[in-house]
Amino acid sequence: MNYRHAFHAGNFADVIKHIVLVRILLHLQEKDAAFRVIDTHAGAGIYDLTGEEAARGGEWLTGIARIMQARFSETALPLVKPYLDIVRSFNSHPASLERYPGSPLIARALLRPQDRMTACEVEGGPRKALIDALRRDTQARVVDLDGWTALPAFVPPNERRGLVLIDPPYEQKDEFERLATGFSEAFAKWPTGSYLLWYPAKSRRATDELARQVADAAAASRPPSKCLRLEFSIAPETTGAGLTSAGLLVVNPPWTLAAELKAILPELEKPLGQGGGGRFRLETPKT
């Protein structure tokens, strides 16, 4: 598939991915030592929800727009609120939705003075937009480099703590294989880092194989690293339908993350689901 992010900004997959991203970065903040975020396929950074591309798909209307209006329990609200507050900070009014921040700007919002970010983007238009969004920012660096090339080149970072976000556009048929290989190469160089891998869940066989390969690589480290798998579906999969299910693999997840997601995800099923179809899976992949 070809996942042009401007068409899908703020959709259900973004909501899930960015909630998890925020939870991981907040956990990294719990120690004073600096950390680095490496975003291998960063995109434009900010997306105009009133523009032609976002309007054409309108996916944000059934994604972030619904979550901004949702009512959460006393347990889930404190876990979701930091993400919602970041989204609101990019809009002119707390109740309005005109712009949606991509992963690099969400991550940037959670960097402390000692933390740094490397954002890779090879496409000229999105890279220029990201450079403009991060202009004069001494903590964030935008690199004109293919994410697959950057992945093994930038690990381990000098900080020795941090997160690698791998979120490719899935324009090539072999993208799952490249993801598994790229992760394994980077993980071999930096087994103590945290990794967040996003994928579209279009084929059960392909996603199971990806999860197995990533979990195998994590388990082979000494000591073995943990891997957490999350998939969220908004509707039953039908032939020819658009993206209805997406997944995340988290290697070296915060020890609190699984419990946090068990509190959050059930409360996202109703607002994000279509025709009552919202459902999630949260598990440790088989090796």
What are the φ/ψ torsions at residue 172 (nearest 5 degrees)?
Answer: -110, 150
194 is in an annotated binding site: no
Look at residues 246, 226, 28 and name the one whose alpha carbon lies nearest to residue 117. 28
Among the listed residues 14, 39, 115, 167, the single catalytic one is 167
Q: Are 131 and 78 in contact (CB under 8 A)?
A: no
115 assigned to a ligand binding site: no
Using only C-alpha atoms, the chain has a radius of gyration, in whole angstroms, of: 18
Q: Would the annotation count 121 as a binding residue?
A: yes
**Is the alpha carbon torsion for 42, 32, 24, 90 positive or negative?**
negative
Q: How far is CA 119 from CA 109, 169, 191, 198, in A?
A: 14, 15, 20, 16
Residue 208 labeled ligand binder:
no
Structure-token match 């099923």, residue found: 269
CB distance 166 to 195 below 8 Å: yes
Asked if 250 and 195 touch (Cβ cutoff 8 Å), the reply is: yes
Q: What angle do CA 207, 211, 217 make, to 5 degrees?
A: 150
**Residue 167 catalytic?**
yes
Q: What is the DSSP letter of 287?
A: -
Bridge-based pairing of strands 116-120 and 162-166 is unpaired
Does residue 147 have a known ligand-binding role?
Answer: yes
Q: 39 — phi, psi (to 5°)?
A: -105, 110
Active-site residue set:
167
Which residue positions form the known binding site? Answer: 18, 41, 103, 121, 146-147, 167
Which residue positions form the known binding site for S-adenosyl-L-methionine? Answer: 18, 41, 103, 121, 146-147, 167
